[in-house]
């Protein structure tokens, strides 16, 4: 294992301002398949893997044709792709990544996105100099809230779970990191209330990446090895 600590970052809603774009495009994807799902309900599932999200909102396999889930998933991907070139980082996102790298953290992105979508988010972040590695849904067999993505990010970093910190914006991030044995810092930039993040097990909660960057010295990310 690496002697350095690892800072593992979710991307959607944590570093890139995309949560509500996902909510809108999932809403439209469901509508195209004849399902009326309130957007507030969709928002509360953002951060889950798409398989869990669809089952959670429509019921596991209930009243759906065999290929309908894939149709909905494909429609969401196509709709969201229209925003790729307009994605924007959240305030302080790149600065936070660079500050962590400067302090000695191995910075790993752990995103549920894959392929061109993940590349679009990386372009929006424009912080490749601070990023050591990236793991995505292509690298795991089970999606959040399963711990697989966090565990994959740990493997990419070479760090042990007790030397890592996960940063995410949803209760699904917090639960996944908890199952992987990694403490989680929550940010409110994805729209989940602080109470929900703390009840899920977040150790600390910040307004967003800029707030965390400003308060880094008093956070779990102050320096690798300091807990």
Enumerate domains of the chain plus CATH numbers: 6-18+87-218 (3.40.50.1000), 19-82 (1.10.150)
pLDDT by position in tens, the chain (length 227): 445 799 999 999 999 999 999 999 999 999 999 999 999 999 999 999 888 899 999 987 567 777 899 999 999 999 999 999 999 999 999 999 999 999 999 999 999 888 899 999 999 999 999 999 999 888 877 778 889 999 999 999 999 999 999 999 999 999 999 999 999 999 999 999 999 999 999 999 999 999 999 999 999 999 886 55
pTM: 0.93
pLDDT on residue 1: 41
Asked if 64 contacts 181 with a C-beta cutoff of 8 angstroms, the reply is no
Instruction: Tell which residue, 201, 149, 212, has the closest CA to residue 170.
Output: 201
pLDDT on residue 227: 53
How many residues does this entry show for the chain? 227
Pairwise CA distance, residues 123 & 169, whole Å: 20
Kindly state the helix (H) or strand (E) to which residue 135 belongs, with its residue range: strand 133-135
């Amino acid at each position: 294992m690496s002697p350095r600590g690892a800072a593992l970052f979710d991307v959607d809603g944590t570093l890139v301002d995309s949560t509500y774009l996902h909510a809108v495009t999932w809403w439209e994807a469901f509508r195209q398949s004849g399902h009326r799902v309130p957007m507030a309900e969709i928002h509360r599932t953002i951060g889950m893997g798409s398989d869990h999200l669809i089952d959670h909102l429509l019921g596991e396999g209930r009243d759906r044709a065999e290929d309908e889930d894939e149709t909905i998933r494909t429609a969401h991907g196509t709709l969201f792709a229209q925003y790729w070139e307009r994605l924007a980082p959240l305030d302080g996102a790149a600065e936070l990544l660079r500050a962590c790298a400067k302090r000695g953290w191995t910075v790993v992105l752990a995103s549920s996105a894959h392929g061109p979508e993940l590349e679009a988010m990386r372009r929006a972040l424009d912080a490749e100099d601070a990023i050591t590695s990236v793991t995505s849904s292509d690298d795991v067999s089970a999606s959040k809230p399963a711990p697989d993505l966090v565990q994959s990010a740990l493997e990419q970093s070479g760090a042990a779970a007790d030397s890592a910190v996960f940063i995410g914006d949803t209760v699904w991030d917090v639960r996944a990191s908890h199952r992987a044995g990694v403490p989680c810092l929550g940010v409110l930039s994805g729209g989940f209330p602080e109470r929900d993040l703390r009840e899920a097990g977040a150790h600390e909660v910040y307004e967003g990446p800029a707030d965390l960057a400003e308060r880094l010295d008093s956070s779990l990310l102050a320096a690798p090895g300091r807990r």
